[in-house]
Structure 1
Amino acid sequence: MGIFIGLTDVRAQRVISGDSIIKSINPKDSLSKKTDLETTVFYSAIDSTVLDAEKQVVNLYGGAKLKYGNIALEADYIRLDWSKNEVFAKGTLDTATKKIIGLPVFTQGQDKYDSEEVRYNFKSKRASIKAIVTQQGEGFVQGKTVKKDEEDNLYIRNAIYTTCNLTHPHFHIKASKIKVVGKKEIISGPFHFELNDIPLPIGLPFGFFPYSQPKEAGKSGIIVPTYGEEPSGRGFYLREGGYYWAASENIGVRFTGQIYSKGGWGLGANSQYNKRYRFAGSFNLAFNRNTNGDEFSPTKRTDFALQWSHSPQSRGNSSFSASVNIASNSYNQFNNYNSQQYLSNTIGSSVQYTKNIGQTIRTGISLRINQNTTTRVFDAGTEFNFGLNQFQPFKRKNSLGDQFLDQFRLGLDFSGGISMTNQVSDPYTRYEFDVYPRETNSQRGIIQKPFVPKTMDDLPPGVIPVDASTLPLLWEKAQTKFNYSIPLSLPNLKLNKYVNLTPGVSWSGNMYTRSYKYTYMKSDSTVRIDTVGGLPKFNSQLSFSASMNTRIYGTLRFKKGRLEALRHTIAPSFSLSYTPDYSDPTYGYYQDVRINNRKFINNEGVEQLGDIRRISTFDPRQMSYGGASGSISFGLQNTLEAKLKTKSDTATKQNEKITILDNFGINGSYNLLAKEYPLSNLNFNANSRVSEFDINIGGSFDPYLYVNDKLFFDVGRRTPDLMLSQGDGLARLTALNLSIGRRFAPAKSKDLKTSTNASEAQLKQINRNIDDYVDWNVPWTFSFSYQFSMNRMGLAAAQQISGLTFQGDLSLTEKWKFSMSSGYDFKYSGLTYTNMS
């Protein structure tokens, strides 16, 4: 570092500069001429520095930089004129590209100005700037000529003001004059709006724009409330106003309140915390006193909600996560502004702790609480688990490669816990038989009649309130259950080099602390349920399976045209599984129970009194229709691809591959041990992408014959005869689903990658506050999807539903985004639920 005065008699001298050479002028140097500088001026240049001692001028070329107090200037060329106390900067012409490079960047404090030319006077502290681009608050100002005074006021001619952060903004306000008054306000003369450089007939004779400084993280301040009206609800409102307290760099708390014109009010506290590389979470507490209705018959209701979300970062072998959501039954219905939460009728909470020991052992414990706000059913429980990752018990230390015995893998999963619910079955339960036929056996059985509460406090039958007086009963009815599973992976076999054969064995079971015995009471057609204590009861199941798959390729080549070849890939798969009939009463897991006095002719042509249901001896709500399973499952997947020659003969790329059909699959199963209906429905699905449109289609065929029967109304009676055997075709289409959709977005955003590394607690937090998680980097998106579905039961007329759903968002500024989702139901000719935010 040196002081450049009186160096030589030569009028000008060129000094070759480098990045490491920084020179300065010190105003307090006794050898220097007295100047108006208040502090040292540092300057440097990459190319060269030319000093003219007679004219007191310093010329900086190539990557020039200057630092003076809180002022910094960078440009390809900078000239210092000490006689005028002035600095001038501009860019230079690159002879190779014929473009201007190194345009000046003038920075003063936190303000940054991009421009073509800058002239600044150290004495007057005034600047003249040409073609400026600068951010002022949350907006951006551009102008052809700008003057800056000593009090940091900007006077801009031919100016535009916008909140778009692009150099060439999509929208802006254009004015002949704009004045930026310090950091307080922005004032303009006559202005008009422009959209994509198209003037709009919208404007005013003058404009005033508040200077909104971007809020710094960790800064406390007042939160301005939002206002509006709920026409059919609580009236006019002011809500989400309050105070933000930055407790520390890791914790921030929002204290908010709300008030309504009909007398309602509410208070809330929301805290966000984050410990870098350790954990993150949020805590929310809300209490609302709502008043709805008119002044003559108001309805008052008290609602509350407690939410806590905690998610760990990847660290060590243990983790703790929590997603707690406790709320009153009517909270989502009367206090939510999010469509997903408003339509949701379930509230769930969970707390989990997991720990891995080495590479093999894993342990965990969890607590869960679930609540259905419609049925008022509450269930809670705690669970623990212990597991061994699959290991190779027969693998020797010095074994080379995977020998046959080395491929045996053994694992263990053991879990247990206690569950409690307020859905308590009465000692005498009425099982109502559903006469109306169902498509599958699993759909036949108990009618679940819809419960319509008359008031918010009504409970459906069999559901008791949860309070201190009912806790002993809930604990008495609690069920302790242990589960175990021992998966065994057998070696894979290669058949004829091309077919993969994978056998498998699974052993699993449960242990219960109590069981039940059922007795039919003929007098009132109810079933008496008796609790059986004693030693723990076990339920073990053993199943066997084997799967086989391969791939077959077929190629068709063409000699003429762009189409070079078509490749068809077929992937057939077969699997065989066997599971004994564990619902047979001889195992003790189920009991055959008579449930009514109905007389009818059964499938064997014999008159029968009363329907029989096979009910679990461990859970009165669980039924089975019996039968061992020895199933053969089959599937066939197809893909179709094309290889095209390039359009240009000089192109370096010889050909390109495109997918014509992503997938077309058919699958089904055949139960070798079933007494009737051994063949399942035949399902198919296909999907492809055509000109940016995603097309998906799927459906199901029923192969069995239906005949007209008055007892089964217009559906008809399903017979065990195949339609093919009766000459009535192959199968009947019972379900068809079709969807066609497309997403529009700027080209750059389509290449953005998304992360799926989120814990369950994080995903629940995102789903509860979906409006707070938006991709702000994408300026706009729009997507739509047409959906059609058809379902038909037997011979009855098909039921069809079709609709169009669409959603989109628009980034108005870097921190403002407008989102909307809606749809149209063609069957009912009306809009579906619409959400705008």
Structure 2
Amino acid sequence: MIIFAKKLYVSLTCQKTSHNFTKIAFKPLHTNLFNIVLISFFLTIGCGNLYSQEIKNKKKPLPAVKQTDKENTAITDTIKLDTVKAKKTFLDGKVRYKAKDYAKIDQKKKLITLYNEAELYYKDVELKSGIIVLNYEKDEVYAGRIKDSAGVLTQYPNFKQGSSEVQPDSIRFNFKTKKALIYNSRTKQGELNIKASVTKKENDSVYFLKGARITTAQDIDNPEYYFQTSRIKFVPGKKIVAGLTQLVIADVPTPLALPYGFFPLSKEKSVSGIIIPSYNDSNTRGFSLQNGGYYFALSDNYDLTVLGDYYTNGSYAMRFESAYAKRYKYRGNVNIRFENLINSERGYPDYSKQNIYNIQWSHSKDTKSNPNSTFSASVNMGSSKYFKQSINQANIGSNLNNTLSSSISYNKTFNTIPGSRISLSATHSQNTQTEDIIMTLPSLQGSIDRVYPFVGKNGVKKGLIKNINLQYNVSGKNYFKTKDSLFFKPQMFDDAQLGLQQTIPLSTNFKIFKYFSAGASTTYQETWVNKTIQKEYDPAAGQTISKTVNGFDAFRTYNFSTNLGTTIYGTFNFGADKKIQSIRHVMRPSITYAYTPSFEKYYDTYAVDASGRITSEYTRFENGLYGAPGKENSNIVGFALSNTFEAKVRDSDSTKTEPKKIMLLNNLNFSTSYNFNADGKSTFGWQPVLVSGGTQFFDNKMNMNFGATLDPYAIDNGGNKIDKFNIDNGGSLFRMTSANVTVNYSFTNKGTGKEKEKNTQSQRNGGRNDDLFGTNTDLNDSRNSQFANEPERDDVITEFFNSKVPWDMTLAYSLTYSNVKRENTISGNSIMISINTDLTPKWKAGVSTGYDFVQKGVTFTQFRFERDLLSWRMAFNWQPLGTNSNWNFFIGIKSGMLSDIKWNKRSVSNR
């Protein structure tokens, strides 16, 4: 019996690393016993051969035998291996993924689908989205949004590779080619936000964008302004090159367009670039371009800004500003400003020309770098008329400064026994009214710590003898006194004075009757100078002639002093049930005695007339750096009394059991002295009583200081002091010759957590740290805006109207009374006030003004307005009074990268 069967294919898989498959085909067979057994035998041998291929044959194979046939016969194996190799996938790294709803794997389509809060991590690629589909056969990934229950698209993709991050609507990325296709991408590069309808990622460093907008606004989907361009080549961290670029404000295209746009990008904090000048005009100097120049980002440690102004009448100005810093070492800045001012035109009667300059340098050293040495600098020097005549708007708030001062110092401490230290410094003080300049270049200070030669082995310093100590101090200076016009000219150095003074004080202190502290000291001084004077009488001229003698000279002096003081406590109790429970009064009286002998040996005489009958005495050390030795004995006793008053009051908070301490008077001081050697003509026995004090009110927000001078002697009809007490002349015990009081009040409703920003540039210019004299804001540099670094708040409008309108105020009042010669006048009486407020969350306003009651006029007045336009800033400053009256309007982008996009308009200046 013959049975026919359908054609059958059986596939047997062998476990080999090559993943080959062996296929055996069976044809219809006759069903007799012999054939069945034969087929079973062959099948068994076939399977055995397949599996035996995995086992290495330990025996040496037989050598191959050469075919002697000339006929080329092909030998084919009846069992063929599969020649189709499996495709190796590109994903050779570890893939990590997760999703909130599900992660589905389709082996047939080679797909992994992640849904809802999906995340995928592969090498340096991080992808988060609503839905992610990974095709590991094509090495591609797709990510997109999903709809929530209300049908709103949510969970936008966030694609991050290395330092680049993109937030599109959807993205398709190929892991093998590194290319991507991105739709409605949103990315941030430094201060720039970029959105494009279609983005093609060519490789890791080049992107091509279509239909893009560039802005610094925080809301990239609804920006208040942007630069619209049709195509962009974007190199992350380096540059953006755009085609036709047009400025769009509030979705309204403006006529401001460029054929191409270039936006430099850098991972550094700043990049070099041109600073676009602003246009202005003047009655006396013509048209001008101001504040144009170049910013050099030289390195991470220092930079340089070069700015200049040019006027059509020939006036110009240059400014060099540099900031430098090295972490844990030092930091500082240098400003050099020069202006060549020409008024009117040559040939006109009001024509004038002058050069003014100003140099500022501040430097501070980190104490961590070397605790044994410090170096600091605060320099503000230049022309006395610089701030009054400067044509730069930034100096408007400093034109009332009357002094310029500088100090450069280096201090070194030596860890010796006893310890020692040395200090080198240079100082400068300049009066801008009189144009007098006083300068020390350099000044030396050195000292050796106190030495206790009689202290015991246990180191206890107690008693008169064991407390005896001495030390050594040295001071030297090279002193200049000159005028502004002679500053750093040869005559200034010819008039220099050089001197050095060495001092050895010897002192001790001890207790008397347990409650009194006593001290005694004596001091030896030796003074060296390089210049002295010589006086002679010239009969022909009929006057005394003083000559300067160059050469080394010295004098030596010594003195003795002692003091005695104690502390007295007084308490006045009013009861625990009273509002004021007690008042505490602390008195610290002290008495001092100082004696200095006469040093007549340093005095000479010269004849006044030819007969020599009238002579005058003088010392060749007159007008020296460290004074001159005294001719008369100095025998003076001094009295001082200091007082403080504080009270304990019941706290308004009923939960607190302890009373609250408040200060009534921080200090109330009285001091005077008596000279035993007074002659009653040029000198008087009792010196005026000096009274000074100060206190604080309203939780230390108001500071009040006062002072007075009380003279016990009377004056004659000519206003000259006479040796007669005022009370014996029909007057009171004391005659008040002068008095003053100052009040400063600063308060705000913004809370104690927000301190008012100090006017640091005004301080560098020699002015106040507040804005009573106005601010020095440079309207051409948007980085100075107080809005520049403020973070955006979502509920700022609601927060504003749910609270009080924020404001701060600074009030200063000064009163001076003079009555030296019975003039009985108020020599000074003025009030100054500065108010700043936030009218709305985006509007800020401020005013600085004052009134002089003596001169009967308004002092310097400035009105300030500023508007936060999100990515933009608008400011308006107005000084309506005085010779410097002007106004200034500015609007520009706050970003430092795009700060050249601005418009500045100023009033016509007469300066």
SS at match of 2:622: coil
Letter in 2 for 1:743: F
Task: Tell whether 2:739 aligns with 1:741.
Answer: no
2: distance between equivalents of 1:283 and 1:552?
A: 53
User: Which residue in 2 is equivalent to 1:25?
Assistant: none
2: distance between equivalents of 1:738 and 1:351?
A: 31
User: Which residue in 2 is equivalent to 1:26?
Assistant: none
Q: 2:851 aligns with which of 809, 824, 829?
A: 824
SS at match of 1:580: strand
User: Which residue in 2 is equivalent to 1:256?
Assistant: 307
Q: Point out which structure has higher relative CO (alpha carbons under 8 A, 6+ apart).
A: 2
1: distance between equivalents of 2:104 and 2:574?
A: 78
Q: 1:690 aligns with which of 695, 698, 702?
A: 698
- Per the TM alignment, residue 629 of structure 1 is displaced from its structure 2 partner at its CA by 2.0
User: Which residue in 2 is equivalent to 1:300?
Assistant: 353
SS at match of 2:509: coil
- Per the TM alignment, residue 302 of structure 1 is displaced from its structure 2 partner at its CA by 3.9
1: distance between equivalents of 2:548 and 2:647?
A: 60
Task: Tell whether 2:410 aligns with 1:357.
Answer: no
User: Which residue in 2 is equivalent to 1:700?
Assistant: 708
2: distance between equivalents of 1:113 and 1:810?
A: 37
Letter in 2 for 1:790: T
Give matches, 1:66-145, under 5 Å.
66-67=120-121, 72=126, 80-82=132-134, 85-87=141-143, 125-126=181-182, 138=191
- Per the TM alignment, residue 370 of structure 1 is displaced from its structure 2 partner at its CA by 6.3
- 1:361·1:387 contact (CA, 8 Å) conserved in 2? yes
SS at match of 1:338: helix
Shift of the 372–395 alpha-carbon distance from structure 1 to 2, 3 Å rule, reads same
Q: 1:783 aligns with which of 806, 809, 815?
A: 809
User: Which residue in 1 is equivalent to 2:475?
Assistant: 415
- 2:463·2:510 contact (CA, 8 Å) conserved in 1? no
1: distance between equivalents of 2:378 and 2:164?
A: 43
- Per the TM alignment, residue 529 of structure 1 is displaced from its structure 2 partner at its CA by 1.8
Q: 2:668 aligns with which of 665, 668, 679?
A: 665
SS at match of 1:263: coil
Shift of the 253–781 alpha-carbon distance from structure 1 to 2, 3 Å rule, reads farther
Q: Deviations over 1:384-441 (max 9, x none)?
A: 3432123443445544686775544432211224435558xxxxxxxxxxxxxxxxxx
1: distance between equivalents of 2:292 and 2:768?
A: 23
User: Which residue in 2 is equivalent to 1:483?
Assistant: 501
Give matches, 1:238-257, under 5 Å.
238-257=289-308
SS at match of 1:644: coil
Shift of the 730–302 alpha-carbon distance from structure 1 to 2, 3 Å rule, reads closer
Q: 1:556 aligns with which of 573, 577, 580?
A: 573
2: distance between equivalents of 1:103 and 1:560?
A: 68
Letter in 1 for 2:563: A
User: Which residue in 2 is equivalent to 1:572?
Assistant: 587
- Per the TM alignment, residue 59 of structure 1 is displaced from its structure 2 partner at its CA by 6.3
User: Which residue in 1 is equivalent to 2:600?
Assistant: 586
- 1:221·1:245 contact (CA, 8 Å) conserved in 2? yes
- Per the TM alignment, residue 766 of structure 1 is displaced from its structure 2 partner at its CA by 12
- 1:41·1:66 contact (CA, 8 Å) conserved in 2? no
- Per the TM alignment, residue 538 of structure 1 is displaced from its structure 2 partner at its CA by 0.9
Q: Deviations over 1:187-240 (max 9, x none)?
A: 77868xxxxxxxxxxxx8999999988986465433324435474653443233
- Per the TM alignment, residue 787 of structure 1 is displaced from its structure 2 partner at its CA by 0.4
Shift of the 260–707 alpha-carbon distance from structure 1 to 2, 3 Å rule, reads same
User: Which residue in 2 is equivalent to 1:53?
Assistant: 105
- Per the TM alignment, residue 576 of structure 1 is displaced from its structure 2 partner at its CA by 2.5
1: distance between equivalents of 2:287 and 2:225?
A: 41
Letter in 1 for 2:688: S
User: Which residue in 2 is equivalent to 1:633?
Assistant: 640
Structure 1 spans left out of the alignment, 5+ residues:
1-29, 93-101, 192-203, 424-455, 458-463, 596-608
2: distance between equivalents of 1:818 and 1:135?
A: 33
SS at match of 1:490: strand
- 1:645·1:656 contact (CA, 8 Å) conserved in 2? no
- Per the TM alignment, residue 547 of structure 1 is displaced from its structure 2 partner at its CA by 4.5
Give matches, 1:334-413, under 5 Å.
334-335=389-390, 337-339=394-396, 342-343=399-400, 352-359=409-416, 360-366=419-425, 374-375=434-435, 381-396=441-456, 398-399=458-459, 407-413=467-473
- 1:639·1:664 contact (CA, 8 Å) conserved in 2? no
1: distance between equivalents of 2:732 and 2:384?
A: 53
- Per the TM alignment, residue 301 of structure 1 is displaced from its structure 2 partner at its CA by 2.9
Shift of the 831–585 alpha-carbon distance from structure 1 to 2, 3 Å rule, reads same
2: distance between equivalents of 1:503 and 1:105?
A: 80
Letter in 2 for 1:386: G
Letter in 2 for 1:419: Y
User: Which residue in 2 is equivalent to 1:602?
Assistant: none
Q: Deviations over 1:142-201 (max 9, x none)?
A: 9xxx98866778999xxxx997x8x9xxxx99889998987778977868xxxxxxxxxx
- Per the TM alignment, residue 259 of structure 1 is displaced from its structure 2 partner at its CA by 0.8
2: distance between equivalents of 1:239 and 1:395?
A: 70
- Per the TM alignment, residue 291 of structure 1 is displaced from its structure 2 partner at its CA by 1.6
- 2:671·2:689 contact (CA, 8 Å) conserved in 1? yes
- Per the TM alignment, residue 481 of structure 1 is displaced from its structure 2 partner at its CA by 1.5
Letter in 1 for 2:316: W
Shift of the 256–355 alpha-carbon distance from structure 1 to 2, 3 Å rule, reads same
- 2:689·2:710 contact (CA, 8 Å) conserved in 1? yes
CA RMSD of aligned residues (A): 5.9
- Per the TM alignment, residue 515 of structure 1 is displaced from its structure 2 partner at its CA by 3.2
User: Which residue in 1 is equivalent to 2:894?
Assistant: none
User: Which residue in 2 is equivalent to 1:542?
Assistant: 559
1: distance between equivalents of 2:249 and 2:437?
A: 65
Structure 2 spans left out of the alignment, 5+ residues:
1-84, 149-154, 175-179, 201-207, 233-239, 770-774, 792-805, 865-876, 878-911
- Larger deviation: 791-800 or 389-398? 389-398
Letter in 2 for 1:802: S
SS at match of 1:536: strand
2: distance between equivalents of 1:396 and 1:65?
A: 78
User: Which residue in 2 is equivalent to 1:619?
Assistant: 623
- Per the TM alignment, residue 820 of structure 1 is displaced from its structure 2 partner at its CA by 6.8
2: distance between equivalents of 1:340 and 1:509?
A: 47
- Aligned-pair identity in percent equals 17
Give matches, 1:154-193, under 5 Å.
none
Shift of the 154–548 alpha-carbon distance from structure 1 to 2, 3 Å rule, reads farther
2: distance between equivalents of 1:412 and 1:231?
A: 62
Letter in 1 for 2:593: Y
User: Which residue in 1 is equivalent to 2:895?
Assistant: none
- 1:499·1:549 contact (CA, 8 Å) conserved in 2? yes
Task: Select the structure of larger CA radius of gyration.
Answer: 2
User: Which residue in 2 is equivalent to 1:9?
Assistant: none
Letter in 2 for 1:257: G
- How many residues are matched? 690
- 1:218·1:252 contact (CA, 8 Å) conserved in 2? no
- TM-score by length of structure 1 reads 0.64
- Per the TM alignment, residue 310 of structure 1 is displaced from its structure 2 partner at its CA by 4.8
